[in-house]
Each structure stands twice: as structure tokens, then as C-alpha cells.
Amino acid sequence: MEAFQDPHLEEIGWHNFLGMTVGQAVLWAATDVDPKYENPELTTSEPYVMGSHATGCGAWCSGPEDVSPPEYFWGYNRMTTVEGLFGAGDAVGGTPHAFSSGSFTEGRLAAKAACKYIDDGKAEGIRVTEKQINDRKAEIYKPMEHYKVYSNEITTGDVNPNYINPRQGLDRLQKLMDEYCGGATVNYMTNDKLLNIGLKKLKILEEYLENIAAKDLHELMRAWELKHRHRTSEAVMQHTLFRKETRWPGYYYRGDALKLDDGNWHVLTVSRREPKTGEYTMEKAPCYHLVGEDE
């Protein structure tokens, strides 16, 4: 309330809430609260699988040629470690500003770099077979086929012994991440024991997601969103376990490593998941400050 007495800070505040925490602004509107005239209650967490977007995570991608050290640049701006795959915004992380006003700028940079990749002839020789197309199509529509086969075995409501639906899976994933990976209900606290238990439960959930069912195209979209969120959650939990410190106080805490440890962890942490086995390999990468504090 004190900050909002300044017209400039009030405008900036609303920009921030409507751009990043729109649910909070909607809650105030729904409960007839104007934060300029009364101190409101604050919802300190949003329904993210990781508690916050401020951890600056995303796919490891090549930076721009003019400022990137050799370790950060491999030929094309915004190209990930997957040859020919480009990303932007939240997909490549790095800064909390990448998800809002920066996304369209990064998207343009990524698109121009992808076009240059094609113009340089790097995409020549790529062929997609009919079998590849049909196999991918069968994989994508599997949840709808699963529903078609087993929908007559519903016992009551949405309860079926042969599948779960996207909402059931989402509730389960959210509760799992909340309780084991430092969510709101545990005051953002976790530790190595909880994280290892959480990883085991994520593996079990992944088995259930092989039998997810979708009754229509909307639920099919939700089913694939859930599968992607599950993989993201797994990566977040692996990184939180690997980084033995509390890097972002206020967003999550490692109860067994409560201090900020710049000596060992002022680094980027990079992971790779082996597609066939699901095993993760973790490593540290140097964190260079490309822009000085005086700039």
C-alpha cells in the first residue's frame, strides 16, 4: 500500500502483477481489494511445477556470436544442443524477462537463425519416411485410442481401472511436486531424502501416464501437456538434488544445505537425459557474467 502511493510505482506494480502474477490481480478484483488503499494478502506461490520461474532454467542453447564465449556458442543463435532445433523464451530460460516481453524478440532471433541454418544448407539430406509419420501419429493419438477401447469399463464418474484422465494426472503431479520438491504447503522446504523419494514417485507416475486416456481433442492436448510437465518436473527435481545449496532463498530451500555456496555452486548446472534408459547425467558449466555491474 505504501509503494502504491507513488503513481510511478503503482503503474510499474500493476504491470508486474498483470504480466507475471495475473492470478493475484484477479483475486484482488474478485474480493473488492485495491492495494493502493488497503494492504492485501499476498498469494506467495503460483501453480508452477517448480514453485517459480525465477530459477532461469531451460534448454541449453547457443548464445549470440557477438558476446558469447566459445562454451556458449556453437554456430547459430538460440540453437539448442539438438542439431537444428531452435528455442526462445521460457524454452531456453536464462532470465526471468525471457517469458514475457522478451519472448517475441527471442522468437524473431531464433527464426532468423533457423532460416540461416537452412540457407547454409545444413538441413539438406533430411528425409522423413511415411513410417516415421505414421508411428508418430499413432503415438500422438494413443490416449484417444485408449479411451475408445476402455471407456465402457468406467465404474463411477471418471474412475476406470484401465486409465487415468489428464486432470487426475495433473492433480497427482502437482501434489507430488508440492510435497517433495519444495512447494507452498511445506513452506518451500525440501532435502535430499524427499527429493529421492519424489523421483521414485515420478517414475511410478510415468508408468501411469502410458495409460492416460483422452475422450476428445481438448483432453488429448491436456494429456500431452501433462506428459511434458512430468518430464519438466523430473528435470527440476534432478537439478534441485544435484545443486547442494540454497541458490534462490524465498523460492525454495534445501533444508540440508541452507546456505548460498558461491565457492562450489556459482556455476550453471547442465543435465542430459538418456532417452532409452531415462538416466540423467549432471555436470557443472562455467557461469560467465557477460555484462559488468557498472554497465
pTM here is: 0.82
Interhelix angle for 217-242 vs 130-150, to 10°?
100
Angle at CA 29, nearest 5°, toward 27 and 32? 105
What is the distance between the alpha carbons of residues 105 and 98, in angstroms, rounded to a whole number?
A: 9
User: 15-24 burial, b if ≥16 CB within 10 A, otherwise e?
Assistant: eebeebeeeb
Confidence class for position 273, pLDDT limits 50, 70, 90: very high
Q: Identify whether the C-beta of residue 224 lies closer than 8 Å to the C-beta of residue 212.
A: no
Confidence class for position 44, pLDDT limits 50, 70, 90: low
Neighbours of 200 (CB within 10 A): 11
- Cell numbers given for 34: 485495491
Task: Count Cβ atoms within 10 A of the Cβ of residue 29 and give its class: 0-12 exposed, 13-18 middle, 19 or more buried.
Answer: exposed
> Residue ranges of the domains in the chain?
1-43, 57-127, 130-286
What is the distance between the alpha carbons of residues 259 and 245, in angstroms, rounded to a whole number?
A: 6
- Cell numbers given for 43: 498469494
Q: What is the mean pLDDT of residues 199-208?
A: 97
pLDDT-above-90 percentage for the chain: 64
Q: What is the mean pLDDT of residues 235-264?
A: 91
Q: What is the CA radius of gyration of the chain?
A: 22
pLDDT at position 252:
84
Q: Identify whether the C-beta of residue 177 lies closer than 8 Å to the C-beta of residue 198.
A: yes
- Chain segment 84-121, per-residue pLDDT in tens: 999 987 778 655 555 556 678 888 999 999 999 999 99
Confidence class for position 283, pLDDT limits 50, 70, 90: very high
- Cell numbers given for 21: 502474477
Topology (CATH level 3) of domain 130-286:
Methane Monooxygenase Hydroxylase; Chain G, domain 1 (1.20.58)
SS3 270: strand
Q: Identify whether the C-beta of residue 107 lies closer than 8 Å to the C-beta of residue 126.
A: no
pLDDT at position 169:
96
Mean pLDDT rounded to a whole number for the chain: 88
- Is residue 32's pLDDT more than 70? yes
Per the listing, cell 495433473 goes with: 170
Q: Identify whether the C-beta of residue 60 lies closer than 8 Å to the C-beta of residue 80.
A: yes
- Cell numbers given for 129: 519416411
Which parts of the chain are beta strand (E)? 189-190, 253-254, 267-273, 280-286
Confidence class for position 59, pLDDT limits 50, 70, 90: confident
Q: What is the mean pLDDT of residues 32-56?
A: 68
Angle at CA 92, nearest 5°, toward 142 and 121? 85
Angle at CA 61, nearest 5°, toward 258 and 178? 35
